[in-house]
Structure 1
Amino acid sequence: MTQETIALSHDAGVTRLVLNRPQVMNALNSAMRAEITAALSDLPQGTRCVVMTGAGRGFCSGQDLTDASAAHDLEQTLRREYEPMLHAVRACPVPVIAAVNGVAAGAGANLALVADVVIASESASFVQAFTRIGLVPDAGGTWMMPRLIGLARAAGAMLFAETITARQAADWGMIWECLPDADFEAGVTARARHLASGPTGAYRAIREALAASTQNELSAQLELEARLQGQAGRSADFVEGVTAFLEKRAPRFQGR
């Protein structure tokens, strides 16, 4: 698929997916949703981490309100276009970092929050803007937000549609990290390279366990942990990790 609304690049195991409609603050239209879904479902060979960010001043301003085809039937747009995109983020075989470089509003905020790790610049912000136009939070927001910050804060954020600063989001545990603007690009790159050089199989298992933990009872989660740990314990990365530890050197994980 030719990318018209996103830009892709790959370097040192890191695939960078840039939402590339800066003239509309990277608002999501049908083409962008399809391109994000396709890109995450068919990553370049050698990808061990994905960084998703926005071009220009913002990360993503949410649904493109000028997209008449989406506005005609919001329910079907969510089912046919948003759900595959969000599932593609969650099902990505490698960790996904959302590098929030500016405002993340509405569905744009929730696209960021569905990633494995969210790193924001200090000048970035998040807003569940849906009630400002008489809508209900979607794109997984009503699932993610209560789990990240609790029901009370999630309800306030959605009902009042007030802006949450990046610093506030980090303090609440909504995101992993808030970085000074001057350090943002270097910080994201360092985090991405760390993941790209790490044990990809273990990362995949961690993501599976965390996803299951929201529904499993303790006994089921313990069984899952044992199964995943058994697989990890038979991997070449485990052998390399132990060998490197004993030899007092940095491990060289193969990512299988």
Structure 2
Amino acid sequence: MSNNSIELKIENNIAFVTLNRPEVFNSFNREMALRLIDTLENCQTNNEVRAIVLTGNGKAFCAGQDLKEVTSPELNPGFKKILEEHYNPIIKLIRTIEKPIIGAVNGVAAGAGANIALACDIVIANEYASFIQAFSKIGLIPDSAGTFFLPRLIGFQKASALAMLGDKVSAQEAERLGMIYQYVSADQFEETIQKLANKLAKMPTMALGLIKKTFNASLTNDLDAQLALESKYQIQAAQSEDYAEGVAAFIEKRQPNFKGK
């Protein structure tokens, strides 16, 4: 599947989803947002897909909202539609798809682009990447779950300052802060992403999905509720084919051949 604003390539159980408006630093217009939602929904239901890589074409990952669209009397969908029909569904899909999603940040990630990246399960950024909560610079507040995830990733004080001041955070600094998983050099970026995606696609997909659901719940659960949820999902995982294969491989001292079931 390929279209003007989103590219999708599936190989070796990995879906490579690429934002493709490089001429405007992959900023979102309505078409690209709706196409990304459709593409993620496809990945969610496609049993061939066991890991997802989200990245951008060109020099940027995503510069956020296309401001030409919101300032156009003919094209502007309005902030209610932009949030409720574009960004909120994208964030919810990223967090609820029961497959690991790698945010492969190849360049600047600003505004909604930064927060979409930070919603991914594992974020890898190259040396040209940066993260900017650019909203306050034009009189807005962080959206796309930026006010939800950023304080939890780096702490309330630092997140508050970055949201208010709009400072640019380098990839190296983002790793130091715990904002992302890993910073790598540009010449190692594609190889690192490919190796990580290959590894995830060969792992027990059901267990990874349950880990994701359990971590999501931990953001609002108390201890008792979280312990109960761990018990529920552990029992479910223990009934999977992958658990049986993992135990057998351990006993037989061989590499497991997980099927994602």
TM-score normalised per structure 1: 0.97
Deviations 1:140-187 (A, max 9, x none): 101110010011110111111010000111011111111111100000
- 1:161-200 equivalences in 2 (<5 Å): 161-200=166-205
Residue 235 of structure 1: how far off its partner (Å): 1.1
Paired residue for 1:20? Answer: 20
Paired letter, 2:67 = L
Residue 45 of structure 1: how far off its partner (Å): 4.1
**Maintained 8 Å contact 1:5/1:19:** yes
- 1:15-54 equivalences in 2 (<5 Å): 15-43=15-43, 44-54=46-56
Paired residue for 1:120? Answer: 125
Is 1:92 aligned to 2:94, yes or no? no
Paired residue for 2:7? Answer: 7
In structure 1, distance between residues paired with 2:95 and 2:205: 15
Residue 137 of structure 1: how far off its partner (Å): 0.9
1:18 partner SS: strand
Identity value in percent: 41
Which range moved further: 44-53 or 207-216?
44-53
**Maintained 8 Å contact 1:70/1:77:** no
**Maintained 8 Å contact 1:237/1:253:** yes
Is 1:206 aligned to 2:211, yes or no? yes
Q: Of residues 79, 83, 96 in structure 1, which corresponds to 2:84?
A: 79
In structure 1, distance between residues paired with 2:259 and 2:212: 18
* Aligned structure 1 segments of 4 or more residues deviating by more than 4 angstroms: 69-72
Gaps of 5+ in 2: none
1:252 partner SS: coil
In structure 2, distance between residues paired with 1:70 and 1:134: 21
In structure 2, distance between residues paired with 1:182 and 1:207: 30
Residue 133 of structure 1: how far off its partner (Å): 1.0
1:123 partner SS: coil
| Pair 2,57 (structure 1): closer, same or farther in 2 beyond 3 Å | closer
Residue 4 of structure 1: how far off its partner (Å): 2.2
In structure 1, distance between residues paired with 2:242 and 2:22: 41
In structure 2, distance between residues paired with 1:197 and 1:237: 11
**Maintained 8 Å contact 2:98/2:213:** no
In structure 2, distance between residues paired with 1:53 and 1:106: 16
Paired residue for 2:61? Answer: 59
Paired residue for 2:236? Answer: 231
**Maintained 8 Å contact 1:106/1:130:** yes
Paired letter, 1:24 = V
In structure 1, distance between residues paired with 2:2 and 2:59: 24
Residue 81 of structure 1: how far off its partner (Å): 1.8
Residue 215 of structure 1: how far off its partner (Å): 0.7
- 1:233-248 equivalences in 2 (<5 Å): 233-248=238-253
In structure 1, distance between residues paired with 2:76 and 2:110: 17
In structure 2, distance between residues paired with 1:240 and 1:99: 30
Paired residue for 2:225? Answer: 220
In structure 2, distance between residues paired with 1:187 and 1:209: 27
Cα root mean square deviation, aligned: 1.3
Paired letter, 1:51 = V
